[in-house]
Amino acid sequence: MSEHNPKHVYIHTIGCQMNVYDSGQLMAILKAEGFCETRDIGEADLIIVNTCAIREKAVQKMASFIGRFSGLKQKKPGARIVVAGCVAQQQGRRLLERFPHVDVVVGTHAFRRLPLLLEEREARGESLVDISMTENIEKTDSEILLKHHQTDVSEFVTIMRGCDNFCTYCVVPYVRGPEISRSPADILSEIADLVESGMKEVTLLGQNVNSYGMKEGLCTFAELLERVHAIDGLERIRFVTSHPKDLSPELIEAFVSLEKLCPHIHLPVQSGSDRILKKMNRRYTVAAYLDKVYRLRQAVPEIALTTDIIAGFPGETEQDFNQTLELIQEVEYESLFAFEYSDRPDAPARRFKNKVDAVEKNRRLRKLFALQASITQKKQRAMVGRTLDVLVEGVSKMQKKQGRAVNNGSTELCGRTGGNRIVNFSFGTDCDLDIRALKGQIIRVRIEKAFSNSLWGVPVNMASPSRQIKGGYVHVA
């Protein structure tokens, strides 16, 4: 590829944080091969859609996206289209039958082979499929990746791949393979390199981080957190996702002993009915789940809890659903992600009888959202008047959308609290603080307004001319 005439690549990501991480790695790999990233899809010579198979809606999004380019080859014969990720792994060559204009189908374990696959596509003149799986995770070449990666304040780092739990509704074990953990040394090296290039907050990713290292005899997840915590320059640590059955006392203690570990945990419950949990193969009861919640809040009273709920799982009765509502009321989550159940290929629940009809699933979903909205509103209002530590991520969405000052001529920035609440805040026009220098710093913000999905506040004592930034926090003299 000519350095003077590089090809442009556009990546469209659908799905979870792990897909976001994978897309970032894939972009860095392609940049190392001479491609240039573009955010203008019309400019792209290579279009990649990184897919998600967890719900039917995500698969429909993929199909709609790919379908838009059926006539692209006539206008731009040299353009190439790639389908990557979980749907690619699941459907393989069937995608080429449905979308003959696709050039390469690359599965969840084959991302690093994409440059070679593209070369082979040109040499052979035909579309290719690579959905082979490996039994280990290749070592990350941080030096090469970071050379072609624009580090942000907060980054995802995958610590493990695959899943061994086989929940009856889930396709992850089939599309990402069995659970495999990365070596602690590789993880720590990647995080240290990211911190050196500007990252302040890391989110460790895995389908079940609580079981990290168990199969391989590595350190436990709690021990890994201790090692990550020791990295100089890192300000905050988060992780997703925790399976409730494997939440250990050591991990709960980590929230107390590790200052950098954010007081927030995503603990998917899926249902408040023991009968449905058994059909889901979740391997815990509601009582056991609530005991974990009690222990977490006993250790860290203000810990922020979020969860996942499936509405209308096969066989879910009105009584089962009401038990889920009761659990939500008892726990009072900060927020939740709720979805209508949908049959997934390979997942055992697809064969279950007594399916809940679409209208009823939607009714239950809306009722879940309504209940959670009232709880979230109450919790958001309770933040008004408090002063919170906020990690500055950059300008707010409203600022970006309007492309100008949004509040009496001032600049509005955005950040997150340790409990993962979004906080927007602004400075007066007479403030001479270098706003660009604030990105990646932790500042104190007094909350003055509460909204459904965010808070708004004012930085405390930020207008002082004798201010100075030290150790990731803004100190006012």
203-225 pLDDT, tens digit per residue, is: 999 999 999 999 999 999 999 99
3-state secondary structure of 108: coil
263-274 pLDDT, tens digit per residue, is: 999 999 999 999
Q: Is residue 3 part of a domain?
A: no
Are 225 and 188 in contact, with CB atoms under 8 Å apart? no
pLDDT at 474 over 90: no
| CA 455 distance to own-chain centroid | 21
Q: Do 303 and 199 reside in the same domain of the chain?
A: yes
Q: Do 315 and 461 reside in the same domain of the chain?
A: no
Q: Is residue 2 part of a domain?
A: no
Which carries the bigger pLDDT value, residue 93 or residue 435? Answer: 93
Whose structure tokens read 């927020």?
Answer: 335
Listed residues 110, 130, 150: the one ending a domain: 130
What is the domain count for the chain?
A: 3
Q: Is residue 136 part of a domain?
A: no
Q: Do 255 and 360 reside in the same domain of the chain?
A: yes
Question: Is residue 137 exposed (0-12), middle (13-18) or buried (19+ Cβ within 10 Å)?
Answer: middle
Assign residue 276 the CATH number of its domain.
Answer: 3.80.30.20
Give me the sheet containing 264-266, strands edge to edge: 264-266, 304-311, 335-340
Confidence of residue 403 (pLDDT cuts 50, 70, 90): low
Listed residues 348, 381, 414: the one ending a domain: 381
**Which structure tokens are listed for 293?**
């919640």
254-259: average pLDDT: 98
Whole-angstrom distance, CA of residue 45 vs CA of residue 31: 13
CB neighbours of 273 closer than 8 A, spacing ≥ 6?
286, 316, 319, 320, 321, 323, 324
Whole-angstrom distance, CA of residue 18 vs CA of residue 28: 15
Instruction: Identify which of 272, 269, 271, 242 has the alpha carbon closest to the alpha carbon of residue 254.
Output: 242
Question: Is residue 416 exposed (0-12), middle (13-18) or buried (19+ Cβ within 10 Å)?
Answer: buried
Quote the pLDDT of residue 141: 63
Q: Do 156 and 188 reside in the same domain of the chain?
A: yes
Whole-angstrom distance, CA of residue 123 vs CA of residue 287: 60
Q: Is residue 137 part of a domain?
A: no
Q: Is residue 119 part of a domain?
A: yes
Q: Do 356 and 427 reside in the same domain of the chain?
A: no
Are 53 and 344 in contact, with CB atoms under 8 Å apart? yes
pLDDT at 431 over 80: no
Q: What is the mean pLDDT of the chain?
A: 90
Q: Is residue 205 part of a domain?
A: yes
Q: Do 465 and 330 reside in the same domain of the chain?
A: no
Q: Do 297 and 340 reside in the same domain of the chain?
A: yes
Assign residue 32 the CATH number of its domain.
Answer: 3.40.50.12160
> H helices then E strands: how many in the chain?
17, 21
**Termini Cα distance of the chain:** 55
Quote the pLDDT of residue 416: 97
Amino acid letter, 84 = A
The alpha-helical segments, DSSP class H, found in 198-317 are: 221-229, 249-257, 274-280, 286-299
Quote the pLDDT of residue 455: 97
Q: Do 376 and 398 reside in the same domain of the chain?
A: no
Whole-angstrom distance, CA of residue 99 vs CA of residue 103: 9
Quote the pLDDT of residue 144: 65
pLDDT at 57 over 70: yes
Q: Is residue 247 part of a domain?
A: yes
Whole-angstrom distance, CA of residue 115 vs CA of residue 293: 46
Q: Do 396 and 377 reside in the same domain of the chain?
A: no
pLDDT at 405 over 90: no
Domain that holds residue 343: 142-381
**Which structure tokens are listed for 449?**
């307004």
3-state secondary structure of 302: coil
280-316 pLDDT, tens digit per residue, is: 999 999 999 999 999 999 999 999 999 999 999 999 9
150-159, 340-349, 371-380, range with the lowest pLDDT: 150-159
pLDDT at 97 over 60: yes
Quote the pLDDT of residue 391: 97
Q: Do 173 and 310 reside in the same domain of the chain?
A: yes
423-429-434 Cα angle (round to 5) = 70
Whole-angstrom distance, CA of residue 55 vs CA of residue 60: 9
316-327 pLDDT, tens digit per residue, is: 999 999 999 999
**Which structure tokens are listed for 270?**
């899926």
Q: Is residue 308 part of a domain?
A: yes
Q: Do 462 and 338 reside in the same domain of the chain?
A: no
173-191 pLDDT, tens digit per residue, is: 999 999 999 999 999 999 9
Are 231 and 195 in contact, with CB atoms under 8 Å apart? yes
Q: Do 398 and 361 reside in the same domain of the chain?
A: no
Quote the pLDDT of residue 143: 65
Question: DSSP letters of 399-460?
Answer: HHHHTS--BTTB-EEEEE-TT--EEEEE--TT----HHHHTT-EEEEEEEEE-SS-EEEEET
Listed residues 355, 381, 407: the one ending a domain: 381
Assign residue 406 the CATH number of its domain.
Answer: 2.40.50
pLDDT at 397 over 90: no
Confidence of residue 73 (pLDDT cuts 50, 70, 90): confident
